[in-house]
Amino acid sequence: MTLPGVILAGGKATRMGGGDKGLKVVAGKRLLDHVIARLAPQCGALAINANGDAARFAEFGLPVLPDSLPDHPGPLAGVLAGLDWAAELGAGAIVTVAADTPFFPADLVDRLAAACGPSGLALAASPDETGKLWQHPTFGLWPVALRDDLRAALRDGLRKIVRWTDGHGAGTAVFPADPFDPFFNINTPEDIVVAEGLTA
């Protein structure tokens, strides 16, 4: 079964001045348009994780999955919402991507699948300019079998993604950062200007 994909769009975008980063425009398209176009060829069914009024995403024609836990406990709550949705579909895992990262690799899903650890988990990573490897934990492959463990961890106060994934032996898929880091994400209005240059 082709893995479902979940776009994590639940952040508060405080450095952008609030609102939905996924609806910001880069090179004539909303960020979500860029992300969907890059993810759709790699996945089966797609969904957006976001809270609040789902109608603002209606024209994308995708299910909108709110966090199932209160108080916005972070990206892992979006992962959990995606895992619950995937369980209803009968899927064994999901792939997640961030809504503010329009240049992620076109082979993301295949590389994550090849890098899975014993539990079926894998996260993406890329090197910085010094060669130090940085994980990108919103880009991952997550097995549905771990969803109850994740739910319990979140209810116990877990917020740091890597603490949970390390505890389950997540594998790492390393992607080159040449000519630029494909996981460059847009946090500020200045980042939009940079992204415009990268799409030129």
CATH homologous superfamily of 5-199: Spore Coat Polysaccharide Biosynthesis Protein SpsA; Chain A (3.90.550.10)
Using N-to-C axis directions, what is the helix angle for 147-155 and 75-89, rounded to 10°? 150
Q: Which amino acid is at 2?
A: T
Per-residue pLDDT of the chain (200 residues; tens, 9 = 90+): 689 999 999 765 444 445 688 999 999 999 999 999 999 999 999 999 999 999 999 999 999 999 988 887 889 999 999 999 999 999 999 999 999 999 999 999 999 999 999 999 999 999 998 999 999 999 999 999 999 999 999 999 988 899 999 999 999 999 999 999 999 999 988 999 999 999 86
Side-chain-side CA neighbours of residue 56 (13 Å): 15
Closest listed residue to residue 141, CA positions, set 178, 107, 184: 107
Q: pTM of the prediction?
A: 0.94
Give the contacts of 168 (CB within 8 A, at least 6 positions apart): 117, 119, 121, 146, 149
The strand pairing partners of 96, in sequence order, are 6, 140
